[in-house]
Amino acid sequence: MNGNLTFTMIKPTAFKNNNAGAILKMINEGGFIIKAMKLTLLTPELAGDFYAIHKGKPFYESLVEFMSSGPIIAAVLEKENAVEDYRKLIGTTNPENAEEGTIRKRYATSLQQNAVHGSDSDENATLEADFFFSKFERF
Ligand code: ADP
Ligand code: MG
């Protein structure tokens, strides 16, 4: 059975471009309930830890630099089949291939600066939510 939680970040460029409100509206209209949320700024160390799974890939260093370049919004989202449904709402990693009406199609500015993060599995959703939020910050 699929879980009902996923984790997202509104990435620095999308936040800087004032697209956070529109993205959160799409998240709510997509049937997701916000269980936790914060505006924060990752240090390069924290961004490196968060994306450790990509260590060694050609884009890792620049991804870490980008993700620590400005504030982000982190959130835990609830919905039935959350991980899969959220990946559908955000669209493909490369926004050029993303379907019309997806968050990345609308708000990404490049492959790296693709507006939002979305967990890729229930296991990672739990790890990522725990990375950002204590139990006192989740409702
Ligand atoms: P997703 O965010 O769709 O799960 P990945 O986990 O594969 O994608 O990659 C994490 C993030 O790294 C992407 O969202 C994107 O910001 C960046 N990224 C992935 N592949 C590339 C690439 N080839 N060049 C630059 N940035 C990339
Ligand atoms: Mg991923």
Per-residue pLDDT of the chain (139 residues; tens, 9 = 90+): 689 999 999 999 999 999 999 999 999 999 999 999 999 999 999 999 999 999 999 999 999 999 999 999 999 999 999 999 999 999 999 999 999 999 999 999 999 999 999 999 999 999 999 999 999 999 9
For residue 117, what are the domain limits? 5-127
Euclidean distance between CA atoms 25 and 28, whole angstroms? 5
- CATH number where 32 lies: 3.30.70.141
Question: What ligand has the least distance to the C-alpha of 11?
Answer: 1
Q: Classify residue 136: in a domain, yes or no.
A: no
Mutate to test the pocket of ligand 1, among 9, 55, 63 (most ligand atoms within 8 A of CB): 63
| Residue 138 located in a structural domain | no
Q: Which of 14, 117, 129, 132 is catalytic?
A: 117
- Residue 2: Cβ within 10 Å count: 11
- Count how many domains the chain has: 1
Whether residue 123 lies inside any domain: the answer is yes
